Amino acid sequence: MPGGFSRSYYTTNLVSINNAEYTLFKRPHFITDAEVEDWGFSTHGYLVDLPTGSLELVNHDEEGQPAAIKIKFGQGCMLATQQTLECGWDRGNSPMLENYLRYYNYHGDYHLSLSLALNGQP
């Protein structure tokens, strides 16, 4: 992955927010721990080999491994997640996907890039 990290496949519904005061969880929607759990599978894994200075945003409860991170990348940053954000949005469990997509709106001018990693898993 860009930034040198990789991922490990492990599905779970048990995840929690590390810092509820972080901008990603406050705008445009206030997100709680209850809203990032029980989406069918709230995450399909966790991120490993993180670059120095990575900020762990959401962790697996039983593993203590990050399901979502923020890392410095070039002159900006990158948000990466194993969370099934589209599932949470589609099922009405959480507007977290919108918070990710609009994150940079709250930090001035931005360039938005979306990446999708397919691994042949359901």
**Mean per-residue pLDDT pooled into runs of 10, the chain (122 residues):** 87 90 90 87 91 92 84 85 87 86 65 55 47
DSSP string, 48-93: ESPPTT-EEEEEETTT--EEEEEEEETTEEEEEE-B-HHHHHHTTS
pLDDT value of position 39: 83
Tell me the pTM.
Answer: 0.81
